[in-house]
Structure 1
Amino acid sequence: MQHPGRQSRPRERRAAIWWNGRSGRLLLDRARDMLPRWIERLQPETILQLGQPVFWGLPPGHEHTWVLLNDGFALPSDEYLQAYGVCEAMPFAAMRFDLVIVPFCLTRMANPQAVLEECWRVLRPEGHVLIMDFNPGGSLSVVRRWHLWRRDRAWPWLRPFLPLGRLRGLLEEQGFVLREGRYFQYTVPGLRRNAQWMELVGDRWWPAGANAYLILAQRRDPERPLVGAVRSFKVRSGRQNVRSEAPVAYVGPDTENTAPCPKKS
Structure 2
Amino acid sequence: MLSTQPDPLDAASFETMALSQYIARQEIPLYAQTVADVFGFHALQIGWPQHDLLEHSRMPYKHSLQLTASGGASLLCESEFLPFAEQSVDLVCMPHVLEQCADPQQTLREAFRVLVPEGTLILTSITPLSALGLRARVGGFKQAGQFKRLFTAWRIRDWLNVLGFEVVYRDSLVHALPVNDPLWLARQSCLERLGQHSLGLTGGVYFLVAKKRVLNMRLLKPEWKKTSLNHALQVRKGQSSIQKQAQKELECANVESTMDRNVR
TM-score, normalization by structure 1: 0.70
Please say if residues 137 and 210 of structure 1, whose CA atoms lie closer than 8 Å, have aligned partners that are also in contact: no
Is contact 1:51-1:73 (8 Å) kept?
Answer: no
Q: Deviations over 1:171-221 (max 9, x none)?
A: 011111121111112121225242221111111136222110111111112
Q: Distance in 1 between matches of 2:19 and 2:142?
A: 17
**How many correspondences in the alignment?**
211
Within-5 A mapping of 1:209-228 = 209-224=202-217
1:3-39 CA deviation, whole Å, 9 max, x = no partner?
Answer: xxxxxxx98x723322221111000111112111111
Task: Work out the percentage of aligned pairs sharing the same amino acid.
Answer: 20
Return the match for 2:130 from 134, 138, 156: 138
Unmatched segments (≥5 aa) in structure 1: 1-9, 226-248, 252-265
Matches within 5 A, 1:16-165: 16-53=12-49, 55-56=51-52, 59=55, 64-72=60-68, 75-76=71-72, 82-147=74-139, 154-165=143-154
- Answer yes or no: is 1:178 the counterpart of 2:167: yes
Q: Which residue in 2 is equivalent to 1:246?
A: none
1:105 CA displacement: 0.5
Change (3 A) 1:44 1:197: farther
1:40 CA drift (Å): 1.4
Give the letter for the 1:218 counterpart.
K
- Structure number, greater radius of gyration: 2
Partner SS, residue 75 of structure 2: strand
Q: Matched residues in 1 for 2:142 and 2:94: separation?
A: 26
Residue 160 of structure 1: how far off its partner (Å): 2.9
CA contact (8 A) 2:43 2:59 kept: no
- Matched residues in 1 for 2:144 and 2:167: separation? 32
Q: Distance in 1 between matches of 2:130 and 2:39?
A: 31
Question: Contact conserved, 2:168 with 2:210, CA < 8 A, in 1?
Answer: yes
Identify the match of residue 167 of structure 1 among 139, 143, 156.
156
Q: CA deviation at 1:112?
A: 0.9
Alpha-carbon distance in structure 2 between the residues aligned to 1:92 and 1:220: 19
1:144: how far off? 2.9
4+ residue runs over 3 A deviation? 60-64, 152-158
Q: Matches of 1:70 and 1:203 in 2, distance apart?
A: 32
The alignment status of 1:201 with 2:179, answered yes or no, reads: no
Cα 1:92/1:108, change in 2 over 3 Å: same
Question: RMSD across aligned C-alpha pairs, in angstroms?
Answer: 2.7
Counterparts of 2:29 and 2:190 in 1: how far apart (Å)?
A: 17
More displaced stretch, 51-60 vs 131-140: 51-60
SS at structure 1 position matched to 2:99: helix
SS at match of 2:37: helix
Please state whether the residue corresponding to 1:110 is helix, strand or coil: coil
Structure 2 CA distance for partners of 1:185 and 1:47, relative to 1, 3 Å: same
Residue deviations 1:59-80, cap 9 Å, x none? 368654210111217642xxx5
SS in 2 for 1:41: coil
CA distance in 2, matches of 1:29, 1:38: 15
Q: Distance in 1 between matches of 2:36 and 2:68?
A: 28
